[in-house]
Amino acid sequence: MSDLYLSRIRSWFMSSPPAEWALNRLRSTLIGALSQGPIPRHVAFEMDGNRRYARSHKIETIEGHHLGFEALARVLEVCYKCGVKVVTVYAFSIENFHRPKYEVDGLMQLAKVKLEQLIQHGELLDRYGASVRVLGRLDLIPPDVLEVVERATAATEHNKDCVLNICFPYTSREEMTTAIRTTVEEYSTTPRPHSTPFSQNRITQKILSKQAGKPDFLEPIRESASPTPSSLQSDDQDDAVSTATTLHLDSAAVKGVDDEETVAIYPNAETITPETLDRHVYTADCPPLDLFVRTSGVERLSDFMLWQCHQDTDIFFLKCFWPEFDLWHFLPVLVEWQWRQKQKAREERPRRRVKQA
């Protein structure tokens, strides 16, 4: 009983105007101090623990998700004030459709309400020039929610300074599958012009001349002796293109000036690299992921940003539930990240000196 009484007194004191003013001043001072050091350009949050927070506080599950959205608003302001350019959050997994229908419907309606509030009161995003992007399987979103999603993205598309990526509904496996599918479509339907300095007629003349044992300039080509396009299909192949994707001569070669031809070819699959897939993932135009944060004490990525996490991504697993997450939880993470960046910079200096020597 005494603990509950002290908790109420603490809540009353912290919500009083003098305490709020002092906390805001302290918060601004800390954010300003952090901004003097290196700041991650791209931060991802796996907002986990809403349901467990609700159970531990004996409130409805949907109320726990509602408090999670409020925590997101607090964290966004901290990130944008510090100078973070891109924030990516995991709002809804495709796997969540397997949850009870009432919870899925409640989450969809909550997302609809919050996005509508964002449209009506978008001061936070407009203040920092942040645009909203919804990444994932939009075809799985109910029509009434999808209409609000489209309005929210359209209402903030004029903002160019920062980005808020909302993954909804999303999984990394689905994202990578989509990236591979679009890459295959690009490589199989988009021919590229390829110039060769030797025309097909010149090559044919050379072959026939050698077979006849005569110089090629003494043996002009007869029209009746010209090989068919199918017989030449494997002769004029460039090492950088695939023989399986080269078009037929009669439809793909265009005679040019000075015996040069332009041949329409398809890209070789051997030229596909990780950078190729980078151009087709949902975050293609975003900077590399610098910082990944997951709350609730679970230490796994759970099918979120698997492709974007690379050798320089710092990953933090925090024990607090997402509705509890605020500046005081994020502050140690940023300080630790800045310290690691300074350590990396110190390690790089001797390597650079060795290379220069």
HSE toward the beta carbon, residue 28, CA cutoff 13 A: 6
| 357's tokens | 């020597």
Sign of CA dihedral 161, 167, 171, 174: negative
Nearest to 88 by CA among 300, 296, 313, 273: 313
Residues across the chain? 357
Distance CA 309, CA 292 (A): 8
Nearest to 69 by CA among 124, 23, 31: 124
Distance CA 75, CA 53 (A): 18
| 302's tokens | 């759970």
Annotated catalytic residue: which of 24, 50, 96, 303? 96
| Pairing status of strand 261-265 against strand 192-196 | antiparallel
Does the active-site annotation cover 96? yes
Helix, strand, coil % in the chain, rounded to nearest 5: 55, 15, 30
Distance CA 190, CA 266 (A): 7
Is-contact 46 293, C-beta < 8 A? yes
Annotated catalytic residue: which of 48, 159, 165, 290? 48
Sign of CA dihedral 172, 68, 336, 79: positive
Does the active-site annotation cover 201? no
Please, what's the b/e burial string for 6-35 (b: 16 or more CB within 10 A of its CB; e: otherwise)?
eeeeeeeeeeeeeeeeeeeeebeebbeebe
Q: Dihedral angle at the C-alpha atoms of 226, 232, 238, 244, nearest 10 degrees?
A: 150
Distance CA 241, CA 245 (A): 8
Catalytic positions, written as ranges: 48, 96
